[in-house]
Structure 1
Amino acid sequence: MSNVTADTTASTLPPAPHNPWRELLTGSVASITFTFIAVVAVGWFWVGPKFLSFGNISIMGTFLIVPLIVGAFSGMALLSGVVDLSIGSMVGFSSAVFALLISLGWDPASAAAVTLCACLCFGAINAIAIVGFGAEPIAATLGMLVALRGIAWVLLGSQGAIFAFNIDMFNLVSTTVFGLPLFFLLAILLTAIAALIVTKTRVGRHVQAVGGDDKAAGRAGISVKKVRVAALLLSSFGAGLGGIVYAAQLGSAARATGVGLEFQVYAALMIGGYSILRGGVGNPVGGALGLLAVAGVSNILDLKAISPYYVNIIVGLLLLAAVLLDRLRGGDAYE
């Protein structure tokens, strides 16, 4: 009888008090915001006003266009509980296909459409393996990473590169607005749209629910398979866009295009509050700030003529800090 009374009393107790300071200090976006502000402060005091000049920001923005685009789309896959390791190779494959078609005389619009369709086909193969047959996402997309890299190298031929300069595409990706690259601003806008979808729409809540607890999401009437298939297709589509932008920027495609991009993007997403091991956690704004913070650190070392290898050390420490904050936010528990 006393146990029943104790249980009843416990169930009627008010919920734990809301602690805004804990959320402020450990929330995913707040944490990376503090890190980003710290990087900007270090750049300002150590490098000087040049660090925040329009010219320097424009240079950083040019290099961040593709990672921001890829991160906005692949972040949706992470939120749904799927890690897509093939994004780097998908970027390389996309740039090779697009450059090949341009070199054959195709117009950019048609070449881009065919390239994106090809990327979606390989994204569909990922979805069939992971969603249809229950393969582990890391294993399946790792296989796709290797396969796509091989296909890209075959397309690039013995020279290892395809030169396909198109003046219209180059002028488009080189356009600036108020001194900043237009495509960088569009990538920031894309991130903002992705954040609104994740935080303010039913679609976003469904994606987070599937990543957080797919069984509970299924019981709630959410189609887990459809959400994950859509997320994987979006991931491949974003990587396809990234490859097209790279080819347009460089006027060519090469074997090195996209190599290691998956680690750059996922490291930044983790620093920005995403979790590789559990879905439903993260915000596109945090992922973008993670990319900006890492780019800022790299730029500071470059301007101070310090070996860029130190960036890896700093990024590794930031990743460790992100893992610790992830544990503070609840570890493996989805909220």
Structure 2
Amino acid sequence: MTAAVTDTAGKPGSKGFSIRAIMREAGIGLALIGLIIVFSLASEHFLTANNITNILTQITINLILAVGMTFVILIGGIDLSVGSVLALAAVVAGKAISMPGLGPAEAIALAVLAAMVAGTLCGILNGVVSAWWGLPSFIITLGMLNIARGAALQISDARTIYSFPVEFNNFGSLTVWGLPVVFLVALGLALVAWLVLSRTVFGRLIYGLGNSEEAVRLAGHSVFWLKVAAFTICGFTAGIAAIIYMARLNIASPIAGSGFELNAIAAVIIGGTSLSGGRGSVLGTLLGAFIIGVLANGLILLGLSDFMRQMITGVVIIVAVILDHYRAKLTKG
């Protein structure tokens, strides 16, 4: 029975899994290369070192949120609360880092821990409520969106928190070999998530859950705890994204993260992860985040208004969903 779950999940290394992964991610990669070529020809500023650094920095938060979102969407769920959870985690971390009597190192460590705990607890709550009562995650996380946002406003008294240690502020602009450190953090997180999903039993069960909850249950695994784990990971990554947000902008705002959940979901969908669950990868999510980042940056360089950029991004998302529909038919079986 366990073997059936592994097959259903698309065991990494199997022929079917490899063919589907190559079809999905090669197509996304070609789309990204096409965008880069178009914007390179349209603007002489696109492929400059400064602009490439800007793109990498700009996609960091979305990539981190999208990595966590991948786990949730793979099980057939959705998390609309990550933007608000980011704001709550940032405010909690901002309060922690501003506590009197702490040295810079202690304050930063406490802030990082506080953000991760706040995000993780929100994720656990999303998962437990959704899984225990069998309720749609769309509704549960919509409720959490409002709870976390309200809590962020209440804790901060609706005020932005600032004046962080210089060492913390410097982290947001630090580079290594010309690459932003914050992007390297996001890339490292994506690598860990890829290894978990493609090289562990837990990862196979996440895929299996998205394909058939009953098969996972009959194999003797806890559907409840797997769902809770997926949402917990999503909340945890929102906490990490909150720290990156604070380091980049040097503030902790209770209104931060508005709309971030939509960008994260878009990156996952454009990256080829099916909304019905059971199919997708972190590599695809990485490429999807790059596509959104490159698209946004290129459209700005072309002088398009914010309204036009939103419209074009929306069209790209819809096209990605349509392509996923046909890709599922072509790779079925």
Question: Which TM-score band (shorter chain)?
Answer: 0.7 to 0.9
**C-alpha offsets along residues 256-276 of structure 1, whole Å, 9 cap, x if unaligned?**
311100001101211111222
**C-alpha offsets along residues 130-168 of structure 1, whole Å, 9 cap, x if unaligned?**
11121211000100001110111112214x311132211
CA-based RMSD: 2.2
CA distance in 1, matches of 2:116, 2:16: 46
Question: 1:328 aligns to what?
Answer: 326
Question: 1:315 aligns to what?
Answer: 313
CA distance in 1, matches of 2:42, 2:216: 49
CA distance in 2, matches of 1:265, 1:241: 14
Moved more, 208-217 or 298-307: 298-307
Letter in 2 for 1:53: T
What displacement does 1:24 show?
8.3
Please identify the structure whose Cα radius of gyration is greater.
1
CA distance in 2, matches of 1:104, 1:233: 27
What displacement does 1:111 show?
2.3
Give the unaligned 5+ runs of structure 1: 1-17
CA distance in 2, matches of 1:284, 1:311: 25
Candidates 41, 44, 49, aligned match of 1:45: 41
Question: 1:230 aligns to what?
Answer: 229
Indicate conservation of the 8 Å contact 1:55/1:179, yes or no: no
Indicate conservation of the 8 Å contact 2:69/2:268, yes or no: no
- Indicate the SS of the match to 2:277: coil
CA distance in 1, matches of 2:37, 2:235: 36
**C-alpha offsets along residues 187-243 of structure 1, whole Å, 9 cap, x if unaligned?**
123223322322233221111001111111212233222211111111100001111
Question: 2:73 aligns to what?
Answer: 78
Question: 1:305 aligns to what?
Answer: 303
Change (3 A) 1:19 1:131: closer
Candidates 283, 286, 300, aligned match of 2:284: 286
What displacement does 1:172 show?
2.1
- Indicate the SS of the match to 2:328: coil
Letter in 1 for 2:43: V
Aligned counterparts, 1:1-335, within 5 A: 27-48=23-44, 50-105=45-100, 106=102, 107-158=107-158, 160-276=159-275, 278-330=276-328
Indicate conservation of the 8 Å contact 2:124/2:229, yes or no: no
Letter in 2 for 1:117: V
Change (3 A) 1:202 1:24: closer
- Indicate the SS of the match to 2:127: helix
Tell me the percent identity. Answer: 31
- Indicate the SS of the match to 1:162: coil
What displacement does 1:77 show?
1.5
Moved more, 316-325 or 130-139: 316-325
What displacement does 1:19 show?
10
Letter in 1 for 2:304: I
- Indicate the SS of the match to 2:221: coil
**C-alpha offsets along residues 84-120 of structure 1, whole Å, 9 cap, x if unaligned?**
1111100011111111222223511022213322222
Indicate conservation of the 8 Å contact 1:54/1:180, yes or no: no
Question: 2:12 aligns to what?
Answer: none
Give the unaligned 5+ runs of structure 2: 1-14
Indicate conservation of the 8 Å contact 1:57/1:180, yes or no: no
Letter in 1 for 2:40: W
**C-alpha offsets along residues 283-321 of structure 1, whole Å, 9 cap, x if unaligned?**
111111111111111111212222132222222222222
TM-score by length of 2: 0.87
CA distance in 1, matches of 2:286, 2:131: 28
Letter in 2 for 1:235: C
CA distance in 2, matches of 1:30, 1:217: 30
- Indicate the SS of the match to 2:117: helix
Letter in 2 for 1:312: Q
TM-score by length of 1: 0.87
- Indicate the SS of the match to 1:52: coil
Letter in 2 for 1:314: I
CA distance in 2, matches of 1:68, 1:296: 13
Indicate conservation of the 8 Å contact 1:166/1:251, yes or no: no
Indicate conservation of the 8 Å contact 1:165/1:250, yes or no: no
Moved over 6 A (4+): none
Change (3 A) 1:31 1:70: same
